[in-house]
Chains A and B, each alone.
Chain A
Amino acid sequence: MYDLNELKDKIAVIGVGNTKYGNFPHIDDYGLAAHAFRNAVQDCGIDKNKIDGMLVSRIPYYARMGEVLGINPKWTITLPGHGRMSGMGIIEAATAIAAGHCDYVALMYANIGRSRRVNYGGDENPGTWDPWGFTSPGAAHAMAFRRHMEMFGTTTRQLAEVSVAIRYHASLNPDAVMRNPITIEDHESARFITAPLRLLDYCLINDGAVCLILTSKERAKDFKKPPVLISGFGAQDTYSPSSIANFDMNFWYDAVRATGKQAYEMAGVSHGDIDGLMCYDNFSPTVLFSLEGLGFCEQGESGAFVENGALTLGGRLPVNTDGGHLSNSYMQGWALNVEAVRQLRGECGDRQIPNCEVVQYVQSTPCTRSIIYTRG
């Protein structure tokens, strides 16, 4: 048995790849994932036959995926298509490599929700509260944000700062789906979906796929690009109340706090060291909850924290420099981890964080995870 902290800087991301993001009715899950995989293989220059670990999420059948790619791993994991599996998957892959299950893991995620007209509510997601019309993850976040407004006086204009900053970043990302900049007034006049949340508080629904390739730090030296190290991670699940899906009475505060503490201690860094935060932004309030839980501000103070463009490149804490789920692509956390890698490699062009050395990923969800990446 080893202490998880011993894994600090032992596992590296060597390759990342993604498809274009948008509406692709002519291609299925396997096709999207295969393109992302090929891009990640080309990104690092690995012989794809060396890949002996495979983790898939939102892919119908792992064995067909292996057949499509012509790989026969000795370690395979399938995770469901829930918006919290990226952090879980990357940590699982890292520990699998450390335990010797495999040497090179390809992690793949594909989403064809756009071309399949997925709604994320109603009969697609049967739940306990359907008879009262309560459905969809967005409504659960609206319920949580209303509490935040009542408890702490947070305003929708403050919430707008999240969407505005992240959209600005998307405007700098040539691959992002939504690139036209927005203002606080645009946010405030957008139509309600589930009040108090409006259209611009909701993530996109689009097609696309992402792939990351992980290996040990030692093996990582053999590839094309400088490795990005996994320096720390943390985890905490919160399964009550799961019948009220995607909801926590206290904004997952305790779980995010515990997760952040583990990750910071393992990586040996603190808040002031974080050059960029890649924050799961399924709905804009999640960003506020994450900032509080991680301790970038006190609980209840995230509204004031984000004011005046604090989350924008060049601001106090750049968040989701690729445009996140709100404006770049709904890749359920996977694309944010890719963005963390690209920032640390210095590949981000107009949206590059200067002197970027430490990037943190966080998902504040029933399965809260955080990963801290550093330059190898």
Chain B
Amino acid sequence: MSYNKPLPRLDTDNKPFWAATKDGKFMLQFCKACGDTRFPPGPICPKCLSSEQDWKEATGEGTLESWVDFHRAYWDGFKDELPYRVCLVRLAEGPVVVSSLVDKTDNLRMGAPVKVVFDKVTEEVTLPRFTLV
């Protein structure tokens, strides 16, 4: 059966990110002028307004900031996985991202160390998810 969950919407800013996940890399956009690092990427630096933006590979390490369990499927593609878990992770580099926590345990705490894992969901898209360290 074909993959029936929502896929990333590629735009002018996030294409490099999604290209890199296919190679197992979690890339972060940063400002060459002031060093500001962020996710999701944007057209200019929100701190200093410079257009000089570049990409660096993140360590893929972070800490668990929060998590929720969806008991309702807003897309049919998630119906068979209910309840499914979504997490909030602060990356070691600073930005906060939403992702999946692959661990099913209820023994979770805020601040728990996590690391990225890559899940190839289609030929074109690899999603970064997180797992407890």
Contacts and interface: CB of A to CB of B under 8 A. Distances in A.
A152 B74 CA distance: 30
Interface stretch (A39-47, A48-56, A135-143, A257-265): A135-143
Contacts, number: 88
Nearest to B46: A240
Interface residues of A, number: 34
A131 B100 CA distance: 9
Contact of A133 (B78, B88, B110, B125): B78
Contact of A131 (B70, B83, B127): B127
A68 interface: no
Interface residues of B, number: 32
B132 to A, nearest CB: 15
B35 interface: no
B19 interface: no
Interface in B43-62: 46
A119 interface: yes
Given A132-B98, A151-B110, A241-B96, A194 B6 contact: no
Interface in A184-224: 191-197
Contact of B88 (A131, A143, A151): A143
B7 A131 contact: yes
A194 B82 CA distance: 10
Interface in B22-49: 40, 46
A146 interface: yes
A290 to B, nearest CB: 19
A58 to B, nearest CB: 21
B65 A147 contact: yes
Given A133-B75, A150-B110, 6 more contacts: A129-B86, A133-B84, A133-B100, A134-B98, A142-B68, A196-B68
Interface of A: 119, 121-123, 126, 128-136, 139, 142-144, 146-147, 150-151, 191-197, 240-241, 243-244, 249
26 contacts: A123-B75, A131-B6, A131-B121, A131-B127, A132-B86, A132-B98, A133-B5, A133-B6, A133-B70, A133-B74, A133-B75, A139-B68, A143-B66, A143-B67, A146-B66, A146-B68, A147-B65, A150-B66, A192-B69, A192-B71, A194-B69, A194-B71, A194-B72, A196-B68, A197-B68, A249-B96
